[in-house]
Chains A and B, each alone.
Chain A
């Protein structure tokens, strides 16, 4: 129980699967502000977990903790068997194994699309340039924009930029993909092309944590939906349970506003 009166829920992955992300009793503060309260969740390999909630509920901060873009202060986060501590080697390993897609794309404007995609494989994985470019082109084709490979981000539309960003994350061949509101900064008519890429990815069996407001996406490919509010997990369930018969009052009022 917290001061809000809503009981804290646990978001454990279904038993039997191979757990790839485990978070146990995790707490985080920004200064005096308690942003994440007693988060306990886990994700199985191949699972697609969708995190929803009102803005300021801490959902972005949660997935940014998973690759240590934010540091947590209490509790444990284990990704692919590696615990995130102050150990710089562990941090590097976890970041190598997780890909992230941002709301604002965050492509590097001084590099072409192809250079954006090959940068990390060459510098971090130490691949040869030819090998890196081959894989990069493979993924650029997969997201449907191989012809834009030699353009600079400034010359691409928002949807194209986000797809390059997805290809950039995929080329590192991560075990987990983190999506931080990938469609929120896009024009309505291009949201579809990005979602399509994500749906395909989910269908291929990629492990994904997605923070989004796209309820359609959650319904179509989500294995589990986690609802967060005021820094805590409020309710967890399958999309079916969630969109038809949520048990918490707070969840119901949120869904009624956005659906």
Chain B
């Protein structure tokens, strides 16, 4: 009689794993040894440089420049309050989504970002006197948001409106609305910079969304004039790199609007260019989603007597947009990375601050300069945000089953 036995020892367990994955043949073993040597030396030299040779103090003393550039020191609570609002809303959304399938993904994103906020809060409590309490507010707000979301309070219907309202609130908070030297005084756009500016420019993806949807629908229109106009806009914008559009926008916008070049802040020119650029790519993403909606769907809607606009709004767009959420997240990541190109119009975003810091006299006095240090620092920050979001995007893709059909 056949009795099920355990597999041979060499097939399972640690030994089996090692045999299968690292030492399955001679060539494989050689590769393993070479790769280990490479990893060892790379790690050794990198770590010894990071721990002993690098001049991190230049990064440390310039952290405020990296974060907000020349935003006035006594007004620093304002960007932090905006951050608190965002994290609070994200927390509430996460808490509320408990029963949906997307919850683990949202939770992962929220937890990793609020963990960073909590770490920074600890650092702030220890070292940064001027923003100590603001940072505490950020951490508390994220926790409070999550708890409110988890609780049985009925804020589900309210949340989209809160998100929508948060954008003008944040804009007012950051820009200010009172002249003079008061509490909410206006902070001119040229004093903004650093990571704050990078994030503000990344929000260009939000206005680009409706424009992109309109362009995508226009591209599929049966009316040739509208169709070819949309195709032309999308292809021309996508045909040239963003850096060129930023440059062209800063050259042409004053001419096109016939205003003095100085009366249009660079931030606005960059924002317009980024939004339109993103809209063209958004249109292509949405078009992909629209194409994925079977023809039968519109036919069924028409047969039921729905009008063309009702069909688009109630049947086609909801399905198309759901399918392209991962692509849109991906595009937001790309835009987040691409905001680094605004140096070309003279803005000082996170990326450009690195250059500013490296050219300070104190930095130049250090033998060999501190280019390596600042490059690694900003690379790490960009990487963390982009990587965390791309992981979420990939998880969403799997959840939605995009690409499986």
Q: Chain B residues near A96 (CB, 8 Å)?
A: 305
Pair A102/B300 contact, Cβ less than 8 Å = yes
Pair A110/B305 contact, Cβ less than 8 Å = no
Pick from A104, A110, A169: contact of B294, CB below 8 A: A104
Pick from A95, A104, A109, A178: contact of B304, CB below 8 A: A95
In chain A, what residue has the closest Cβ to B300? Answer: A106
Pick from B303, B314, B315, B322: contact of A67, CB below 8 A: B303
In chain B, what residue has the closest Cβ to A125? Answer: B305
Q: Chain A residues near B314 (CB, 8 Å)?
A: 119, 123
Pair B296/A108 contact, Cβ less than 8 Å = no
Instruction: Determine if B302 is an interface residue (Cβ-Cβ < 8 Å).
Output: yes
Q: A106 with B305: in contact, given A119-B314, A123-B310, A123-B314 (CB under 8 Å)?
A: no
In the complex, A107 Cα to B300 Cα: how many Å? Answer: 8
Instruction: Determine if A120 is an interface residue (Cβ-Cβ < 8 Å).
Output: yes
Question: Within the complex, what minimum Cβ distance (angstroms) separates A45 from chain B?
Answer: 20
Q: Chain A residues near B72 (CB, 8 Å)?
A: none
Q: Chain A residues near B97 (CB, 8 Å)?
A: none
Q: A95 with B302: in contact, given A106-B297, A108-B315, A119-B314 (CB under 8 Å)?
A: yes
**Chain A residues touching B, range:** 20 to 34
Which B residues between 265 and 309 are near A, CB-CB below 8 angstroms?
Answer: 294, 296-297, 299-307
Instruction: Determine if A236 is an interface residue (Cβ-Cβ < 8 Å).
Output: no
Instruction: Determine if A162 is an interface residue (Cβ-Cβ < 8 Å).
Output: no
Q: Chain B residues near A156 (CB, 8 Å)?
A: none
Pair A120/B305 contact, Cβ less than 8 Å = yes
Q: Chain A residues near B294 (CB, 8 Å)?
A: 104, 106
In the complex, A95 Cα to B311 Cα: how many Å? Answer: 14
Q: Chain B residues near A106 (CB, 8 Å)?
A: 294, 296-297, 299-300
Q: Chain B residues near A108 (CB, 8 Å)?
A: 297, 300-301, 315, 319
**Chain B residues touching A, range:** 10 to 19
Q: Chain A residues near B318 (CB, 8 Å)?
A: 110
In chain A, what residue has the closest Cβ to B321? Answer: A110
Interface flags, A137-177, vs B, CB<8A=1, else 0:
00000000000000000000000000001001100100000
Interface flags, A83-106, vs B, CB<8A=1, else 0:
000000000100110111010101
Q: Chain A residues near B297 (CB, 8 Å)?
A: 106, 108
Which A residues between 161 and 201 are near B, CB-CB below 8 angstroms?
Answer: 165, 168-169, 172, 178
Question: Within the complex, what minimum Cβ distance (angstroms) separates A171 from chain B?
Answer: 9
Pair B304/A124 contact, Cβ less than 8 Å = yes
In chain A, what residue has the closest Cβ to B304? Answer: A120
Pair A120/B302 contact, Cβ less than 8 Å = no
In chain B, what residue has the closest Cβ to A103? Answer: B296
Q: Which of B299, B305, B307 has the most CB of A within 10 A?
A: B305
Q: Which of A69, A99, A100, A108 has the most CB of B within 10 A?
A: A108
In the complex, A172 Cα to B303 Cα: how many Å? Answer: 11
In chain A, what residue has the closest Cβ to B303? Answer: A100
In the complex, A108 Cα to B314 Cα: how many Å? Answer: 10
In chain A, what residue has the closest Cβ to B299? Answer: A69
Which B residues between 199 and 242 are near A, CB-CB below 8 angstroms?
Answer: none
Question: Within the complex, what minimum Cβ distance (angstroms) separates B102 from chain A?
Answer: 15
Question: Within the complex, what minimum Cβ distance (angstroms) separates B322 from chain A?
Answer: 7
Pair B300/A95 contact, Cβ less than 8 Å = no
In chain A, what residue has the closest Cβ to B307? Answer: A92
Pair A110/B322 contact, Cβ less than 8 Å = yes
Interface flags, B69-90, vs A, CB<8A=1, else 0:
0000000000000000000000
In the complex, A169 Cα to B322 Cα: how many Å? Answer: 26
In the complex, A99 Cα to B305 Cα: how many Å? Answer: 9
Q: Chain A residues near B307 (CB, 8 Å)?
A: 92
Question: Within the complex, what minimum Cβ distance (angstroms) separates A234 from chain B?
Answer: 27
Q: Which of B294, B299, B306 has the most CB of A within 10 A?
A: B299
Q: Chain B residues near A92 (CB, 8 Å)?
A: 305, 307
Pair A69/B322 contact, Cβ less than 8 Å = no
Give chain B's interface residues, CB within 8 Å of chain A.
Answer: 294, 296-297, 299-307, 310, 314-315, 318-319, 322
Give me 11 A-to-B residue pairs in the complex whose CB atoms sit less than 8 angstroms apart, sorted by A's number. A92-B307, A95-B303, A99-B303, A104-B294, A106-B299, A108-B301, A110-B318, A110-B322, A120-B304, A123-B310, A172-B304
Sort A-B residue pairs by CB-CB distance and give the 7 closest, nearest first: A106-B300, A120-B304, A100-B303, A106-B296, A96-B305, A95-B305, A124-B305
Give chain A's interface residues, CB within 8 Å of chain B.
Answer: 67, 69, 92, 95-96, 98-100, 102, 104, 106-110, 119-120, 123-124, 165, 168-169, 172, 178
